[in-house]
Every structure is written in C-alpha cells, then in structure tokens.
Amino acid sequence: MNGESIMGMHGFRCGSMLLSASVTAAASLIVVADHMDAPAVRIVAASPGDAGQDDNFRSAAVWHGASATDPDHAGIWKAAIPPGGTMHGEFAGHDPVGLSAGVKIKADCSINWVDPDSRKRYCFSTATSLVVFLEVPHAYLARAIENWERINTSANR
C-alpha cells in the first residue's frame, strides 16, 4: 500500500465519526436555541417605562445618517458616533499611532482614550490603532508629539 491509500482509508474511517459528532453538536445547539427566552436577549430594555427607547434609538440613527447611501455615512453603527465637531482630541483629532509613524490620519473621536495623568483626549481612527497604542502609550505619545511638531513646523514654512 502506498501513502495515499493509507491516508484515504484513515480519512474514510474517521470521517463518519467526525460527521456524527458534528451532527450531535449541531442538534444540541438547536435544542438550546429553542429553549432560549428571546426577550432576555433584547438589547433595549423591555419595561413599560422604557418603551420610548426604540423611538429614541431610531431618531438617533436617522440623525446620525444611518439611512445614508454613501459608505462613509451609511450604517446603523453610526448612531453610536458623536456628531461631528462635538468631541475634540489632541493633535487636532489625528491618530497618535499614525503620527508616531509620521503620517496624519484624521479620526472622528468615536474611538478615543483619555490619559488618566494629563486628562488629555486622544482620538483613534480604528479600534486596532487604540489597542496597539495602549501597549506602550507613553512611547507612542512621545513620537507623536515629536512628529506633530515637525509636521506643523514644515507646514508653516
């Protein structure tokens, strides 16, 4: 027997066992899902006093452009972003990780961090940028400050 036929036989014998285990796991998940209490999973509070929350959320979504068709403004997730111009960060709202690399990346401050020591707010263009920044924030800030001063000085010449 060559190596291919041994592997083929082994896969054939184990395949039915793996299929059986997958079907059993799927059946268990279906049973659990059927017994879940759907109202307990709701995001919006279900008490009578909170009935207006759905309307408030819809209003906020529309106000923030959730019905927009262009990619920069489309999507319900924009309801969680502060309206433009209401939140300001250091570096004129540019991402400190980008600045530490010498690049200006504009951020809308929907993802931000406030330095507990200085109480200064820093805006990030992505959540990944914030996570990377938080590994060594003071190192990123030192480079960002240095590059921000250099970029602004060269822009004013």
| The model's pTM | 0.50
* pLDDT confidence of residue 43: 41
* pLDDT confidence of residue 11: 52
How far is it, in rounded angstroms, from Cα 101 to Cα 127?
17
* pLDDT confidence of residue 22: 62
Q: What burial class does residue 100 get, using C-beta atoms within 10 Å of its C-beta: 0-12 exposed, 13-18 middle, 19+ buried?
A: buried
Start-end of H helices in the chain: 3-35, 53-63, 96-100, 127-135, 137-155
Enter the tokens of residue 34: 């059927």
Over its length of 157 residues, how does the chain's per-residue pLDDT go in tens digits? 555 555 455 555 655 665 566 656 555 556 555 555 444 433 444 445 555 555 666 666 666 555 556 655 555 555 566 666 778 999 999 999 999 999 999 998 889 999 999 999 999 999 999 999 999 999 999 999 999 999 988 877 6
Q: Report helix, strand or coil for 94.
A: strand
* pLDDT confidence of residue 74: 58
Residue type for 37, please? D
* pLDDT confidence of residue 154: 82
**Residue 31, Cα to own-chain centre: how many angstroms?**
31
